């Protein structure tokens, strides 16, 4: 009987153990699916819903204007349009200092017109250039460089304003001119005193600028050589070139003996008069000549 009972108990225990082991195995499988293998199609998840495939981060593009990338583009555009008239309105004021005066753009024929606020000066038959903008409405002086025409024997004409006197002075310089080039000797320059020009309402004659009447610094041979040495040091001329220059003036005994020559460097005019209110004014014009 004991053996029969043991077998009965064993028959009951075996199924219970098998059921328990199967349940444990199912729980383990539910917790872990094993490692994902690259290239294994069974582990790839394919999404087919287009809403889930959208990128929430905006791509950057250097070719897209900055305002078009902002969320406030619709409000930014009207603000930008509203500022354009203000920017356009300020452009003429900013450009005024660089613009020539109205009278300067309307020359009285071929020549130089200098239109100051109180007086307009005209020198016919010459052409000039300038290296900087000059606001003649506010300035009391103007300077130019002669590029064509002649000053000796010319005239200064007043096309507007009341002028009582025009005075002139000029500067000369001794220069060495040879195959080596032109070497101005600044140590031998001379500036004259103011001299009143003859003339009146029809114009003032430019006199005293011909070579026979020019005033200049006088120097002997030693002074000319010393001035040449100073000029070469100022221009940083090489030792070899310096010897060539000195050889070219070895026999020079006077400033007007070739290759040394007296050259007109610049001419200045002082224009005096009265404005519409009777107040005195003074303007100056300088014209530099190429050496």
Domain ranges of the chain: 98-288
3-41 pLDDT, tens digit per residue, is 444 444 455 555 554 545 545 444 444 444 444 343 444
Reported as type and span, the H/E element at residue 86 is: helix 73-95
Burial 169-181 (b: 16+ CB within 10 A, else e): bbbbbbbbbeeee
Q: Give the pLDDT score at 205.
A: 96
pLDDT in tens, 33-65: 444 343 444 433 444 444 444 433 333 333 333
112 vs 103 pLDDT, higher one: 112
pLDDT at 83: 35
Q: What is the DSSP letter of 12?
A: H
pLDDT in tens, 151-207: 999 999 998 889 999 999 999 999 999 999 999 999 999 999 999 999 987 799 999
Model pLDDT, residue 225: 97
pLDDT at 14: 55
pLDDT score of 123: 97
pLDDT above 50 for 69: no
Check residues 221 and 12 and name the one with the higher pLDDT: 221
In this prediction, what percent of the chain has a pLDDT beyond 70? 63
Between 87-96, 176-185, 212-221, 237-246, the lowest mean confidence (pLDDT) is in 87-96
Element (H, E) at 28: helix 2-31
Contact 166, 197 (CB under 8 A): yes
Mean pLDDT taken over the chain: 75
Q: Rounded mean pLDDT of 233-248?
A: 95
């Amino acid at each position: 009987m004991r053996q029969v009972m043991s077998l009965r108990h064993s028959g009951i225990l075996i199924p219970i153990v098998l059921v328990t082991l199967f349940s444990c195995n199912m729980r383990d499988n539910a917790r872990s699916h094993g490692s994902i293998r690259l290239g294994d199609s069974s582990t790839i998840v394919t999404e087919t819903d287009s809403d889930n495939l959208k990128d929430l981060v905006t791509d950057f593009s250097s070719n897209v204007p900055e305002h078009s990338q902002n969320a406030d583009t619709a409000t930014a555009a009207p603000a930008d349009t509203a500022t354009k008239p203000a920017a356009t309105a300020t452009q003429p004021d900013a450009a005024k200092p660089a613009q020539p005066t109205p009278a300067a753009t309307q020359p009285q024929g071929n020549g130089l017109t200098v239109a100051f606020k109180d007086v307009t000066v005209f020198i016919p038959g010459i052409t000039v250039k300038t290296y900087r903008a000059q606001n003649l409405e506010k300035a009391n002086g103007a300077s130019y460089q002669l590029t064509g025409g002649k000053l000796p024997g010319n005239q200064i004409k007043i096309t507007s304003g009341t002028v009582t006197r025009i005075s002139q002075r000029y500067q000369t310089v001794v220069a060495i001119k040879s195959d080596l080039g032109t070497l101005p000797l600044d140590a031998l320059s001379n500036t004259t005193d103011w001299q009143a020009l003859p003339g009146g309402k029809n114009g003032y004659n430019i006199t005293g600028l011909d070579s026979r009447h020019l005033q200049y610094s006088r120097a002997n041979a030693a002074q000319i050589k010393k001035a040449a040495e100073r000029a070469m040091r100022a221009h940083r001329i090489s030792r070899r070139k310096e010897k060539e220059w000195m050889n070219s003036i070895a026999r020079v005994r006077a400033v007007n003996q070739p290759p040394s020559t007296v050259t007109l460097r610049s001419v200045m005019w002082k224009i005096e008069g009265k404005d519409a209110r009777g107040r005195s004014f003074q303007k100056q014009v300088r014209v530099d000549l190429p050496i």
